[in-house]
Structure 1
Amino acid sequence: MFVTYAAVTIFAALLYASAAVVYLIGHEFPKAQMDIKRLPRSWVPVFGVLLAAGALGLVGGFWLPMLGLLAAYSLVLYFLGALLAHLRVGSRKLGNWAFFFITSVAALAVNLLYHWT
């Protein structure tokens, strides 16, 4: 079970860390997404920091299991909020969102199964 936990957690952490970098370097993609969802562009760095914190928390969960659990829960909540932002403006392009959300749910599931059962 550890191999599955480690693989999913590391994959998720790398995914969210790379997304955080895209948000934090000022790339146009997150800015365009904020415009589409009618959210302030000033929130882009905040979302980048949240994604980076989630990635670091997932990795930290190898040493402090509760930290990993809280990070995984937080990422699930983050992406549920993203879904609400999509739906609020009538966006039906949810492919990227679904990939990120499913990854966060998988990270939460393996964390719960490995540490808490």
Structure 2
Amino acid sequence: MSFAYVVVTVLTIAVNAWAAIADFARAGFVLANSAALGVPHSWIPMLGALKAAGAAGLSLGLLGVPLVGVAAAAGLVLFFTGAVVAHVRIRVYGPIAVPAGYLGLAVACLVLGVA
């Protein structure tokens, strides 16, 4: 396990845990972003649960279950690819940097986890 993998994965865990908490708390920016994208507010808890599951899986990967960490990273790559596609499809480019950044972190976790 490389130092780079640990640093990137800890950062990815932190931002996804924070995003999941914001979803569960129904933070104002979460509600505004979901409304702009046409995502029903009833989906927000499930989206938060997926982010939390990704963070938990990455944590397990760091704790010695590398296949779970790789699977979690792959799941987050798929999740945030969908988020970026949703922004492009609806042409909401202002906040696209956030899911794109999360996607970049998830890709880095996946690449470093497989390496």
- TM interval, shorter chain, is over 0.9
Extract unaligned runs of 5+ from structure 2. Answer: none
Question: Cα offset for 1:103?
Answer: 0.8
TM-score (norm 2): 0.93
CA distance in structure 2 between the partners assigned to 1:97 and 1:16 by the alignment: 11
* Matching residue of 1:10: 10
Question: Cα offset for 1:2?
Answer: 2.0
- Aligned CA RMSD, in angstroms, stands at 1.1
Identity of aligned residues (%): 35
Question: Cα offset for 1:60?
Answer: 0.4
Q: Which region of structure 1 is more displaced relative to structure 2, 81-90 or 70-79?
A: 81-90
* Matching residue of 1:96: 98
The residue type equivalent to 1:43 in the other structure is: W
Give the 4+ runs in structure 1 shifted more than 3 A. Answer: none
Extract unaligned runs of 5+ from structure 1. Answer: none
CA distance in structure 2 between the partners assigned to 1:39 and 1:26 by the alignment: 13
Question: Cα offset for 1:18?
Answer: 0.7
Higher share in helix: 2
CA distance in structure 2 between the partners assigned to 1:82 and 1:47 by the alignment: 10
- Give the total of aligned pairs: 113
* Matching residue of 2:43: 43
CA distance in structure 1 between the partners assigned to 2:80 and 2:37 by the alignment: 14
Question: Cα offset for 1:34?
Answer: 0.9
